[in-house]
Amino acid sequence: MNFFDVLDLLGTIAFATSGALTAINKKFDPFGVFIVAFVTALGGGTLRDVLIGRAPVGWMLETYYVYTILATVVITIIFRKQIKFLTKSMFLFDTIGLGIFTIIGTQLGVESHFNPIISIALGTMTAAFGGVIRDILCNQIPVIFRKEIYATAAIIGSITFLILNMFKLDININYAITTSIVIIIRLIAVRFHLSLPTFYTKN
């Protein structure tokens, strides 16, 4: 298990925790909490695998993901009151997850020889669509369609990864740089309340 596997696991735990907390707040039972935690963490990668025809999907073969999420859910339920005071650490984990998952998805697109724009789509999907499915299950409009810079950070990181990859930059250095870019953009966006404009106009 190398450095990036560790980060991948951290991202999974962070996303699962954020999903579990959302479900607890919606008064879901333990089964519901587990399912929401699961789709938040693995929903984006699962959708990606289905669309590119990678079946069985990843977590069916690498079952340690399932156990990781099970353990995360149990711990989140037990320490739910304390975790609420950990929102800063939670946010940091979620941001790390966003960075890591973006590059994992993009890299998979490159390896599979997809067109660059598809690789960017795969990276963004891996990182951001677990949250979309979580919101659909919780019957609310996906927050990333309206929130501060989130998917946008993923897209920029993904593009940067492709450009550096074109220049044959060492893959590990590329991983480190582009993951950091996603994380930094997201941190700056939240710190300064940056968000994309919307275009709604009354008549």
Stretch that binds its own copies, among 8-16, 95-103, 142-150, 179-187 (CB under 8 A): 142-150
> Please, are residues 185 and 159 in contact by the beta-carbon 8 Å criterion?
no
Helices (H), the chain: 3-25, 30-52, 58-61, 64-78, 80-83, 87-111, 116-137, 151-166, 171-191
* Nearer residue to its own copies within complex by CB, 41 or 151: 151
Residue choice 5, 87, 89, 146 for contact with its own copies (CB under 8 A): 146
Q: 31: how many CB neighbours lie within 10 A of its CB?
A: 9
Query: Can you tell me which residue has the tokens 């299950």?
Result: 137
Residue choice 14, 16, 144, 162 for contact with its own copies (CB under 8 A): 144
Residue 197 is a binding residue for its own copies (CB under 8 A): yes
> Please, are residues 134 and 22 in contact by the beta-carbon 8 Å criterion?
yes
Residue 23 is a binding residue for its own copies (CB under 8 A): yes
Both tokens of 106, joined, read: 């993009």
Residues making contact with its own copies (CB under 8 A): 23-33, 35-36, 46, 50-53, 55-57, 60, 63, 66-67, 77, 80-81, 84, 112, 114-115, 117-118, 121, 132, 136-142, 144-147, 151-152, 155, 195-201, 203
